[in-house]
Amino acid sequence: MSDSPLTLIMNHSRAGAAARELFFERNAQKVLDAAVMMSVCLARQGKLLLCGNGGSAADAQHVAGEFVNRFLLERPPLAAIALSTDTSILTAVGNDYSFDQVFSKQVLALGRPGDMLLAISTSGNSSNVLRAIKAARQRDMPVVGLTGKDGGAMREQCDILLNVEHDSTPLVQEVLLAVEHLLCRLCDYYLFEKVRELQPYLDAAGK
- Phi/psi at 180 (nearest 5 deg)? -60, -40
For the stretch 59-75, pLDDT in tens is 999 999 999 999 999 99
Which residues of the chain fall short of a pLDDT of 70? Answer: 1, 207
pLDDT for 175 equals: 98
Query: What local confidence, expressed as pLDDT, does residue 163 receive?
Result: 98
Q: What is the pLDDT of residue 17?
A: 97
For residues 55 and 122, the answer to whether their CB atoms sit within 8 Å is yes
| Number of domains observed in the structure of the chain | 1
pLDDT score of 25:
98
* Amino acid at position 22, single letter: L
How far apart, in whole angstroms, are the C-alpha atoms of residue 150 and residue 108? 28
According to the model, what pLDDT value does residue 2 have?
A: 76
- The DSSP letter of residue 178 is H
**According to the model, what pLDDT value does residue 100 have?**
98
Rounded to the nearest 5 degrees, what angle is found at the Cα of 119, between the Cα atoms of 117 and 100?
105
Angle at 136 between CA 20 and CA 109, to 5 degrees: 125
pLDDT tens figures, 3-13: 899 999 999 99
Asked whether the beta carbons of 179 and 195 are under 8 A apart, the reply is no
Domain with 37, as residue range(s), is 5-204
Q: Output phi, psi for 118, to 5 deg.
A: -105, 110
Q: pTM of the full predicted structure?
A: 0.95
| Euclidean distance between CA atoms 63 and 58, whole angstroms | 9
Backbone angles phi, psi at 148, to 5 degrees: -135, -175
In CATH, what number is assigned to the domain containing residue 158? Answer: 3.40.50.10490
